[in-house]
């Protein structure tokens, strides 16, 4: 299995699946980290180290958390706020709705651009946590980092 390269490798980087990288089997106890399968405990530890050592750590709560649809969403939102308190300098940028504004988004004019990928690129975020964001948007965002 290939390993993802950090940073822009070309204008349109190939997808992870084109590089032979696939999600671990559900329930296997493994997670996908930088293109490699690793045990969940190691993956969480790796993420924690990145959040504590990389520049501009940011939490992106998406619509599945921001709108508090049910008790589980409210509980995740509370845990997210507690997490941010533990990470020095961690920012929170809510993504309540990220439908695109056409024809062009001007980050200078829009407080929070609609798409997480634009916000990450504009704010020079090196590491983030996406919580409650729909998977298809998370894939776009992760390509930007």
Looking at the domain assignment, is residue 11 inside a domain? Answer: no
* Residues counted in the chain: 145
Residues 47 and 73 in one domain: no
Residue 142 has pLDDT above 80, yes or no: no
Residues 78 and 28 in one domain: no
State pTM to two decimals. 0.69
pLDDT tens per residue, range 50-59: 999 999 999 9
Looking at the domain assignment, is residue 61 inside a domain? Answer: yes
Residues 48 and 59 in one domain: no
Is omega for the bond preceding 125 within 30 degrees of 0, making it cis?
A: no
Range of the domain at 28: 1-6+16-53
Characterise 68 by phi-psi region: left (phi > 0), alpha (psi -120 to 50), beta (else).
left
**Residue 28: other Cβ atoms inside 10 A:** 11
Residues 69 and 88 in one domain: yes
Average pLDDT over residues 15-43: 87
Residues 25 and 86 in one domain: no
pLDDT tens per residue, range 81-110: 999 999 999 999 888 766 656 566 665 666
């Amino acid at each position: 299995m290939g390993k993802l390269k950090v940073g822009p490798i070309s204008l349109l980087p190939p997808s992870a699946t084109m590089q032979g990288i696939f999600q671990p089997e559900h329930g296997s106890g493994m997670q996908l980290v930088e293109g490699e399968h690793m045990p969940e405990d190691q993956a969480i530890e790796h993420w924690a180290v990145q959040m504590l050592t990389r520049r501009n750590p940011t939490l992106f709560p998406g619509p599945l958390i921001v709108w508090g649809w049910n008790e589980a969403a409210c509980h995740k939102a509370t845990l997210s706020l507690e997490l941010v308190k533990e990470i020095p300098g961690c920012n929170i940028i809510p993504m309540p709705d990220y439908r695109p504004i056409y024809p062009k988004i001007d980050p200078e004019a829009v407080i929070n651009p609609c798409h997480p990928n634009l916000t990450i690129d504009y704010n020079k975020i090196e590491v983030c946590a996406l919580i409650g964001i729909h998977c298809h948007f998370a894939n776009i965002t992760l390509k930007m980092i």
